[in-house]
Amino acid sequence: MAVYSKRKYIDIYLVSYLLMFEHGLLSMFLASVSHCNRMLSRAKIQNITASVTRYISTNILISPSIQNVYSSNLRISSLSSQGKMDLARKLFDKMPKRDIVSWNSLITGYWKNGHMGESKRLFDSMLDRNIVSWNSMIAGCIECGSIDAAVEYFSQMPERNIASWNVMITGFVRFGMIDNAVKVFDEMPRRNVISYTAMIDGYGQIGEVDKARRLFESMPVRNEVSWTVMISACVESERFDEARELFGRMPCKNVVAVTAMITGCCKEGKMEDARVLFEQIRDKDDVSYNAMITGMLLCVRVNSRVVQKARGLRLA
């Protein structure tokens, strides 16, 4: 039985936060936060939103012309998130003045809607690119299944930031190329919580739980996703005592971590423990219910086999 699909929250969204926040793509950033709100407490989401608001008030809303560009950029991002790329492109083409965010918003919108070719054509036509332009193309290639193209863009970058390295690590992990991910991780000039978490996820993916644990314990800072990924790796490798120990240490338990523990309890046949954990979840979702239902069915099958075996012994 699979734990919550880790690719969904270790994937490209984690890296996208950094890319979008650093360059004012507010609407896309907030939309992405909603994808991962099961990992983030409400207080953290409020802090993130407040930070973005402060960034806008101090750096963007300075003059009417800049405000118009900013409003158009938000509109492009909004249309892109709705899949209305034709309208987003028309707005982009009609803008009397564009900035780098205008270009990056449209590039990202294209690949997020499956039009990687359009992203590439727009990127190639840019006179001025920044790190976000390159990072977006790398992320787009990974999202669209072309890791080789992502590597090519990464190798051509005139300069890189920590998000560039993180995108490549998460990309390699996503495609099961853990050795490549380790190489990039080792070559990074500096790392952050995303770098470590992605590598822990990669090690867990191939059953190298000891390496994942060593890396986890060496982290300068951990977040809820780091804890959840480590716990999930232990559960998937049936190291339930270790998972329980980590879960007990976890400062703020989120629904994904609890769901992983429910899965572990079900695998061990400890349905009462699973039920208690399930009842502790305030905002239950489909994943939580599915974990509990699957565990109950597994328990029924196991008990049925035990009963049949007992009957066989009695008849003998």
* pTM, to two decimals: 0.74
How buried is residue 196: exposed, middle or buried, by Cβ count under 10 Å (0-12/13-18/19+)? buried
In SS3 terms, the chain reads as CCCCCCHHHHCHHHHHHHHHHHCCCHHHHHHHHHHCCCCCCHHHHHHHHHHHHHHHHHHCCCCHHHHHHHHHHHHHHHHHHCCCHHHHHHHHHHCCCCCHHHHHHHHHHHHHCCCHHHHHHHHHHCCCCCHHHHHHHHHHHHHCCCHHHHHHHHHHCCCCCHHHHHHHHHHHHHCCCHHHHHHHHHHCCCCCHHHHHHHHHHHHHCCCHHHHHHHHHHCCCCCHHHHHHHHHHHHHCCCHHHHHHHHHHCCCCCHHHHHHHHHHHHHHCCHHHHHHHHHHCCCCCHHHHHHHHHHHHHHHHHHHHHHHHHHHHHHC
pLDDT tier at 282 (50, 70, 90 boundaries)? confident
- pLDDT tens by residue, 176-187: 999 999 999 999
Domain boundaries, the chain: 254-316
According to the model, what pLDDT value does residue 222 have? 94
pLDDT tier at 312 (50, 70, 90 boundaries)? low
- pLDDT for residue 80 is more than 80: yes
- pLDDT for residue 280 is more than 60: yes
Residues in the chain: 316
pLDDT tier at 16 (50, 70, 90 boundaries)? very low
Euclidean distance between CA atoms 191 and 22, whole angstroms: 17
- pLDDT for residue 6 is more than 90: no
Which residues does 308 contact at the CB level (< 8 Å), separation at least 6? none
Q: Which residue has the tokens 């992320």?
A: 139
First and final C-alpha spacing in the chain: 34
Tell me the CA distances in angstroms from 300 to 273, 276, 303, 306, one per residue in order: 16, 18, 5, 10
The CB density around residue 43, as the number of other CB atoms within 10 Å, is 9
According to the model, what pLDDT value does residue 194 have? 94
According to the model, what pLDDT value does residue 27 have? 39
Q: Which residue has the tokens 């005139």?
A: 158
According to the model, what pLDDT value does residue 29 have? 44
- pLDDT tens by residue, 236-270: 999 999 999 999 999 988 888 998 898 888 888 88
